Amino acid sequence: MTATAGIPAGITEATPGAAADSSTEKGHFGPYGGRFVPEALMAALDQLEEAFDAALVDPSFAAELADLERDYTGRPSPLTRARRFEQQCGGARVYLKREDLNHTGSHKINNVLGQALLTARMGKSRIIAETGAGQHGVASATAAALMGLECVVYMGYEDTQRQALNVARMELLGATVVPVTTGSQTLKDAINEAMRDWVTNVDSTHYLLGTVTGPAPFPRMVRHFHSVIGRETREQILAIEGRLPDAAVACVGGGSNAMGLFSGFIDDPEVRLVGYEAGGEGIETGRHAARFAMGAPGVLHGTRTYVMQDEWGQTVPSHSISAGLDYPGVGPEHAWLHDTGRATYEPVTDSQAMEAFAVLSRTEGIIPAIETAHALAGAMRLGRELGPDAVIVVNLSGRGDKDVETAARWFGLNSTSGE
Amino acid sequence: MNQASTAVFEAARNGNRAALIGYVPAGFPTVDQSVEVLQAMLDAGVDLLEVGLPYSDPLMDGPAIQESVEKALAAGVTTSDVLDVVRRLEPGVDQAIYVMSYWNPIERFGVDRFARELADAGGSGVITPDLTPEEAGPWIDATDASGVDRTFLVAPSSSDARIDVVSGVCTGFVYAASTMGVTGARDVVSDAAPELVARVRSHTDTPIGVGLGVSSGEQAASIAAYADGVIVGSAFIRRILDAPTFDQAIADVSAFAAELAAGVRSGS
């Protein structure tokens, strides 16, 4: 294994054509990652890893995926200078990586298309997925429709209520949405249910996990399919600014959009990588999803990472106004980037995120997803810290159509009390 | 191999039968009542008891176990309570107490500490359904040091190479999951089980227990014909969930344990 100077072994990008990880490091990021799953899933994970590693060195797979990205997703996505928004960011030059303009409205499609192609290569005809905000579920249903696969999406009951529009979208696309009523009825329980389905139907079914967590090879594989974000951003910012940005920032739920962006700059130590996690109602209230601020290393959903847990190792329910960030675990590579200091992670509260949501909408004519608004709030904070000479790229990971009702409710309450 | 584990499987072998292995979580319905349930199971002929450690995200479990552990957690059961339940049980000669736990609560409690305190409480082994041998280095050291057995799982999908690895690190017994799926009583136990047991048998002399889906004395008998242990969990829990009173639950659990104990004696 060749580790780039200054970068810990195990987190170097798996470049197409190169051996992904050495066998001793395989699936781990320092002490994080690995596989903590029922034995019944080990064969399926091995099969998936083989299919993925074979695809990595197969030019026809890369070509097929590149065609889909261009002709179906609409890549490359633009990098937009946010000239009016950046006035709220201490005058730093702020660029938005427009994943919101992808087909289905978020970055999620990048991973879904890659895994759906792998599903077909493995000879499987059915995909299952978990979803929080519904973006990954919609993307999965979309890819399933495109490739003629059966699709079942597990979604916490609470999330089906607050994201009803996305439930309807999935059903229109031909997917079956299963509301999950066990446990806390949110994303973590949807993942449990998806795992149970997978272990029962593993011969016919691929679990199309939507973020950079779960047992190996999911974290490495999902990062790879999103690395197109970082690759494009790097080329675009070099073309526009003639230099690398001072910081690349993103919101972090499971952390897939962040890993996609970070992967383009991980070997550039001069680029600060900052992830913003959900501070909910404030970390002092206990109602948040700030895994790095308040969690501890542990095992959840097949991987070792930072987990919100009590003193007995029971998972503590998370909270965020954004369903997509409302998750008590985080991708294991983020855990390692956190521990090594290569990336930093800060909480952004519901109200800070909603303020940024409003600011971007009114300064740029772009309504972001509430998940994404956490990254925008972070950029406002970071821009003031770095000053007017700084260049910041923000991953605009999704559009806010799905959140209009939540936002209307939020601002309606505020305007009633404030006017 | 732990002495009590050895005694369980030797007694079964000497009796030309399989051992009966029964699972119910600690703290369900309450900590005190779970001691009564588990003791009743021992008294009615369960040879090896799996005391479940309730966990918030039981992704290998079906509805019955999910419901029981949710109730136990809602009632506030902790890892220390589970160890206390083990301490309070009174196994007879040729009986053993194991804990079954997902990995995170053990890691959080402290790997060495858990193995040590379980041994001190009189426990003989631990089953870890989501821990694979690849991730088990510290656990293997801790269980070796404390003298409690460690049981890992094999499944119908396990390759021979994996069966070799998994059975190689098991002490006590190897847990053969008979079905591709989650826990829960089924009318028919998978026909994959005999073949799986035969494959494991070719890699190890360690006893093999078969679980997932066993719900009657008849099924127990058919499994006892080829396995060293018959594992029953959800069907016990279903009886507790369905009983109108706790006294009735104890009576139903005892009667069911006796039916299964007869089953494992008629299979060989």
Q: What is the ipTM of this complex?
A: 0.95
Domain extent at residue B97: 3-266
Give the whole-angstrom CA distance, residue B174 versus residue A42. Answer: 17
Residue A158: what pLDDT? 85
Give the whole-angstrom CA distance, residue A188 versus residue A176. Answer: 19
Average pLDDT on A321-333 reads: 94
Split at pLDDT 50, 70, 90, the class of A11 is very low
- Percent of chain A scoring above 70 in pLDDT: 92
Q: What secondary structure letter does DSSP report for A225?
A: H
CA B93 to chain centre: 18
Contact A196 B60 (CB under 8 A): yes
Split at pLDDT 50, 70, 90, the class of A21 is very low
Q: Which of A35, A203, A313 sits opposite B107 (nearest CB)?
A: A313
Average per-residue pLDDT in chain B?
Answer: 95
Average pLDDT on A405-419 reads: 72
Six-digit token string for B218: 């008849």
Q: Rounded to the nearest 5 degrees, what angle is found at the Cα of A74, between the Cα atoms of A71 and A77?
A: 145
Contact B107 A38 (CB under 8 A): no
Chain B: residue whose CA lies nearest to A315: B56
Chain A: residue whose CA lies nearest to B103: A299
Residue A414: what pLDDT? 53
Give the whole-angstrom CA distance, residue B23 versus residue A337. Answer: 41
pLDDT in tens, A81-139: 999 999 999 999 999 999 999 999 999 999 999 999 999 999 999 999 999 888 899 99
Six-digit token string for B24: 């119910």
> What SS3 class is residue A274?
strand
Average per-residue pLDDT in chain A?
Answer: 92
For residue A339, pLDDT over 60 is answered with yes
Supply the angle between the helices B79-88 and B31-43 in degrees, to the nearest 10. 40
Using CA of residue B37, residue B41, residue B43, residue B47, what is the dihedral sign? negative
- Percent of chain B scoring above 90 in pLDDT: 90
Chain A: give the shortest CA distance to residue B82, in Å: 11
pLDDT in tens, A144-163: 999 999 999 999 998 898 78
Split at pLDDT 50, 70, 90, the class of A419 is very low
Residue that is written with structure tokens 């542990």 in the block: A298
For residue A331, pLDDT over 50 is answered with yes
Q: Are strands A296-300 and A303-307 parallel, antiparallel or unpaired?
A: antiparallel
Round to the nearest angstrom and report the end-to-end CA distance of chain B: 25
The total number of structural domains in chain B stands at: 1
Residue B181: what pLDDT? 80
Write phi, then psi, for B232 (nearest 5 degrees).
-130, 130
Split at pLDDT 50, 70, 90, the class of B188 is low
For residue A13, pLDDT over 60 is answered with no
Contact A192 B131 (CB under 8 A): no
Residue A124: what pLDDT? 97
Average pLDDT on A333-362 reads: 98
Contact B70 A35 (CB under 8 A): no
Q: Which of B109, B152, B154 sits opposite A313 (nearest CB)?
A: B109
Q: What is the dihedral angle through the alpha carbons of A128, A133, A135, A141, rounded to the nearest 10 degrees?
A: 30
Chain A: give the shortest CA distance to residue B258, in Å: 30
| B191 compared with A320, residue with greater pLDDT | A320
Residue A15: what pLDDT? 38
For residue B180, pLDDT over 90 is answered with no
| B76 compared with A419, residue with greater pLDDT | B76
Give the whole-angstrom CA distance, residue B254 versus residue B45. Answer: 9
Residue A26: what pLDDT? 72
Long-range contact list for B60-63, CB < 8 A, 24+ apart?
A: B60/A38, B60/A196, B60/A199, B60/B129, B60/B130, B60/B182, B60/B183, B61/B182, B61/B183, B61/B184, B62/A196, B62/B181, B62/B182, B62/B183, B62/B184, B62/B234, B63/B184
For residue A393, pLDDT over 90 is answered with yes
DSSP structure string for B65-119: HHHHHHHHHHTT--HHHHHHHHHH----TT-EEEEE--HHHHHHH-HHHHHHHHH
User: Could you tell me if A202 lies within 8 Å of chain B, comparing CB atoms?
Assistant: yes
Residue B189: what pLDDT? 64
Least confident of A23-32, A318-327, A329-338: A23-32
Average pLDDT on B201-225 reads: 94
Residue B213: what pLDDT? 84
Catalytic residue among B50, B94, B117, B228: B50
Chain B: residue whose CA lies nearest to A184: B56
Q: A 99-158 residues with CB below 8 A of B?
A: none
User: Could you tell me if B200 lies within 8 Å of chain A, comparing CB atoms?
Assistant: no
Amino acid at A98: R
The H or E element that residue B144 is part of is: helix B137-146
Q: Which CATH number goes with the domain that contains B140?
A: 3.20.20.70
Residue B203: what pLDDT? 97
User: Could you tell me if A180 lies within 8 Å of chain B, comparing CB atoms?
Assistant: no
Contact B104 A40 (CB under 8 A): no
Catalytic residue among A77, A124, A397, A402: A397
The H or E element that residue A343 is part of is: strand A343-349
Residue A351: what pLDDT? 98
Give the whole-angstrom CA distance, residue B69 versus residue A192. Answer: 14
Contact A199 B135 (CB under 8 A): no
Contact B108 A300 (CB under 8 A): no
